[in-house]
Amino acid sequence: MDRITLRRPDDFHVHLRDGPAMASVLADTARRFARAIVMPNLKPPLRTTAQALHYRDRILGELPEDAEFEPLMTLYLTDDTPPEEISRAKLSGRVHGVKLYPAGATTHSDAGVTRISRCFHTLEKMEEVGLPLLVHGESTDPAIDVFDREQAFIEETLGPTLERFPRLKVVLEHITTRDAVQFVEVTGANVAATITAHHLLMNRNALFMGGIRPHHYCLPVLKREEHREALVEAATSGNPKFFLGTDSAPHARAAKEAGCGCAGIYTAHGAIELYAIAFEEAHALDQLEGFASVHGARFYNLPPNRGSITLVREDWTVPETLAFGGEALVPLRAGETIPWKLA
């Protein structure tokens, strides 16, 4: 196959940042995706519907004239998000999820949730109005091995939360383990998961290829090969519980190449192309459209996109760096060749 045409896809998990940084990266996402669930972990975080709607206006203000792209907004859940905020979010018609960052789990998560029980009234309201909880599923217990944190979160927090709120819609974001795949497979239709391109393409060896590789560091961190294989199987299975979310998370080069480099991999410059590589390796290009353009929209009760994109088999070289506000950004596969090109 030398050409793939897909219904326009959606990215159900992306970090667009704000200000000049956002202006630099937004077009990469808007060229490929019709809609994207935009993460609220700005500094300060987007806690209210009003803040999310202002951010939405800033995004729309930076879009190229001819872009047809709809940002789907989210709220950042805190210990004291009031249930009334959930009602406002739902009523707005523009907020499509509420993001749970366990406090301290990842970039800009210090305002996150310290104990899930503090949010029970808010979760109850979300269950009632059908607003999905988008979960960064990692335990923050420093005693737990960093490679086991997803599994620990599922056992200790997510499982019990779903027992308490059995109809709560939940997206377990950027899953990285076989355990997460199995959890999502056996739970009800109200539980789904996003999978990134980088977790489909790399295992944890990629962090240490000939030396430490800060541009392969993200959270949840890359896992063993057996887990990568489980993710590929899930993504290419046709199971509608699994869909595309890039978790493209740009950071300035200096913030990554540092004594304490921050977590996040930038993939928006070649997002759908990178997924095509992973699906082709699995001999499952025919499953890409469901994963990228159908399953997620259905889960979020969004109409299917109109129009299509086409990928052609043509080599192009990823630039060594991209502009990122006044700084530089190192994209995934910088300086390497990608065999699929957006027509």
So which residues are the catalytic ones?
247
274 close to 226: Cβ distance less than 8 angstroms: no
**Residue 122 interacts with ligand NCD (CB under 6 A)?**
no
Q: How far apart are CA 22 and CA 267, in angstroms?
A: 14
Q: Which stretch binds ligand NCD (CB under 6 A): 27-35, 63-71, 105-113, 153-161?
A: 105-113
**Residue 247 interacts with ligand NCD (CB under 6 A)?**
yes
**Residue 150 interacts with Zn ion (CB under 5 A)?**
no
Q: Which of residues 45-64 bind ligand NCD (CB under 6 A)?
A: none
Q: How far apart are CA 284 and CA 238, in angstroms?
A: 10
- By beta-carbon proximity to ligand NCD, the closer residue of 266 and 299 is 266
Selected binder of ligand NCD within 49, 78, 81, 107 (CB under 6 A): 107
- By beta-carbon proximity to Zn ion, the closer residue of 41 and 285 is 41
10 Å CB burial of residue 27 (0-12, 13-18, 19+) is: middle
Q: How far apart are CA 25 and CA 277, in angstroms?
A: 22
Q: How far apart are CA 31 and CA 10, in angstroms?
A: 11
Contact partners, residue 203, CB within 8 Å, separation at least 6: 222, 223, 224, 225, 227, 228
Q: How far apart are CA 273 and CA 279, in angstroms?
A: 10
Q: How far apart are CA 230 and CA 235, in angstroms?
A: 9
**Residue 195 interacts with ligand NCD (CB under 6 A)?**
no
Give CB contacts under 8 A, 24+ apart, made by 89-94. Answer: 89/49, 89/52, 89/131, 90/129, 90/130, 90/131, 92/49, 92/52, 92/53, 94/52, 94/53, 94/56
**Residue 137 interacts with ligand NCD (CB under 6 A)?**
no
10 close to 34: Cβ distance less than 8 angstroms: yes
Q: Least Å distance between CB 154 and ligand NCD? A: 16
Q: Least Å distance between CB 276 and ligand NCD? A: 22
67 close to 109: Cβ distance less than 8 angstroms: no
Strand partners, 135: 100, 172
- 219 makes contact, choosing from ligand NCD, Zn ion, none, with CB < 5 to 8 Å by partner type, with ligand NCD
**Residue 111 interacts with ligand NCD (CB under 6 A)?**
no
Selected binder of ligand NCD within 136, 169, 216, 269 (CB under 6 A): 136
Q: Which of residues 216-235 bind ligand NCD (CB under 6 A)?
A: 218-219
Size of the site for ligand NCD (CB under 6 A): 12
**Residue 247 interacts with Zn ion (CB under 5 A)?**
yes
Number of H-type helices and E-type strands within the chain: 13, 13
- By beta-carbon proximity to ligand NCD, the closer residue of 4 and 75 is 75
Q: Which residue is nearest to Zn ion (CB)?
A: 247
Q: Which stretch binds ligand NCD (CB under 6 A): 46-54, 104-112, 234-242, 309-317?
A: 104-112
Q: Least Å distance between CB 214 and ligand NCD? A: 11
Footprint of ligand NCD on this chain (CB under 6 A)?
A: 15, 41, 106-108, 136, 218-219, 247, 249, 263-264
